[in-house]
Structure 1
Amino acid sequence: MRFAGWYLKIAAVGASIGAAMELFMIHTGFYEKVTVLESEKRAWESSPEAQAMREALNPWHKHDEQEQQKK
């Protein structure tokens, strides 16, 4: 417990830096932007274009599924 004061100071500084970062993200609208980007990403991933691209990039997908079903 010799360095307890030092650890408390480091913890306080870290917490204050984290709180400042959170306040900055809230005031700049970061969370709203991320929510919109994530919803657009999920909408695109469920589109037929994305499914076709996924299948084109992994031609062994159906083969792997068939082997797993055999086991």
Structure 2
Amino acid sequence: MKFRDWYLKIGVVSALVGASMEFFMIKTGFYDKVTVLESEKRAWENSPEAQAVREALNPWRRIDAEGTEKS
């Protein structure tokens, strides 16, 4: 392969960049913050308020209701 050393250099640099990004996210507490935000989001999505908003914003709710009544 003609450009094997070039591909190897790109691979090593890419691995180093990825590892440094992961290290930065771990040191800054990124994953902890994302875990909290995701749990809050899931809790809200399962709440009655979120269900009411989904139903109110669904433009097909009448058509869906008619389809279930006929079958």
Shorter-chain TM-score bucket reads: 0.7 to 0.9
Matched, 1:19 2:10: no
What residue is the counterpart of 1:33 in the other structure? 33
After superposition, the C-alpha distances for 1:31-61 in whole angstroms (9 at most, x for unaligned) are: 0000000000000000000000000000423
Distance (whole Å) between structure 1 residues aligned to residue 8 and residue 67 of structure 2:
56
In the alignment, the residues of structure 2 paired with residue 4 and residue 25 of structure 1 have an alpha-carbon distance, to the nearest angstrom, of 32
Distance 1:4 1:65 in 2: 61
Q: TM-score, normalised by structure 2?
A: 0.87
Report what 1:47 is aligned to: 47
* Count of matched residue pairs: 71
How far apart, in 2, do the equivalents of 1:59 and 1:66 lie?
13
Tell me how large the CA RMSD over aligned residues is: 2.0
TM-score, length basis structure 1: 0.87
Gaps of 5+ in 2: none
Runs of 5+ consecutive residues of structure 1 not aligned to the other structure: none
Percent of aligned pairs sharing the same letter:
68
